[in-house]
Amino acid sequence: MKFWKKYVSTIKHNILISLDQNRNLKYWRDDMFSNTIVFTIPFSIIAFIPSLIWALDMGYYTLAIIDVFSVLIVMIVGFKKGIKIKYRKLLFIGTMYVLSFTLIYYVGLNSTLYLLASCFLSVFIYSFKNKYTPALLNLYITILYISLYYSDLILIHNNYFKLYELLAVFSNLIFISFLICSLIPRLFDHLNDSFQETLLHTKKIEKQNDLLKEITWIQSHVVRTPLSRLIAIVELLKDPDNSEQDKKFLLDNVMISSRELDEVIKEIVEKAETVQANE
């Protein structure tokens, strides 16, 4: 467990170190990418061994080389320091698509599942300018594969597929790919709107709390000064030995303190109204 925790911590530190730690949607999307790499590295190593043995046994040396490079690139994405997360994502996505096409070329149509998985992961971890980019990549790969197949440049498979069979397989792949590219970004847009609303609401609450703290401070400190002065003046006015001049002086100070207290109360009322308006 200690090894696993250390491993996860290392991957996340390398990938997320340069990110703004505000827990917004972008952060969680990048964190999801780091988790993808965390689990991809060990699982890719597990899958790599039998795949390499099979490729070498069948004489598919190009597939074996690409398998090796794919595992190495995924490990670089996870362990290499100093790479911006944008380039880590693009490197990972590019590797997935190269491996997917290679598997389709050597293994057959069953490997179209890898293209679908590549599309799904690409949309989840990376924000493309054109949201349909992963689906278009699948479309281009489909056209390339069919062109190579009917140009007799794919000689690996013993089975001969008719055109409608290839179209049936790849049309479903392309349909689902475009569906993924259409729905998932929309989901992220709604989540982002929700995050923004929550953020604005949080800021509003923080502002209200600041105003309430300010009101509390005014009530406990600013109000107390003129009020204490008024209490003291009233006590002095009770003295029967006060001359007319003393009384006039004290009454003038009563007026001054009253006006000062009135201004403070007005300020409190204004701030209270601001808090109420922001609710």
Cβ(121)–Cβ(97) under 8 Å? no
For position 277, what pLDDT does the model report?
60
Q: What is the pLDDT of residue 175?
A: 94
- Beta carbons within 8 Å of 137's beta carbon, 6+ residues apart: 97, 118, 119
Q: Which residue is it, tokens 């795949």?
A: 51
Residue 67: name the closest of 77, 79, 54, 80 by CA. 54
Coil, strand, or helix at residue 132? coil
Percent of the chain with pLDDT over 70: 86
Q: What is the pTM of this model?
A: 0.70
* CA pair distance 191, 139, nearest whole angstrom: 28
Spell out the alpha helix ranges (H) of 151-162: none
Tokens of 65: 């080389």
Residue 74 is which amino acid? V
Alpha helix (H) ranges present in the chain?
Answer: 2-16, 25-58, 61-79, 85-107, 112-125, 133-150, 163-217, 224-237, 244-277
Nearest alpha-carbon partner for 204 in 269, 274, 148: 274
CB 112 within 8 A of CB 170: yes
> What is the model's pLDDT at position 77?
93
pLDDT for 23:
63
**Successive 10-residue mean pLDDT values, the chain, 279 residues:** 87 75 73 91 90 89 92 93 90 94 86 90 88 93 87 66 82 92 85 75 76 68 70 74 73 76 74 63
Taking the CA atoms of 10, 11, 12 and 14 in sequence, report the sign of the dihedral they define.
positive
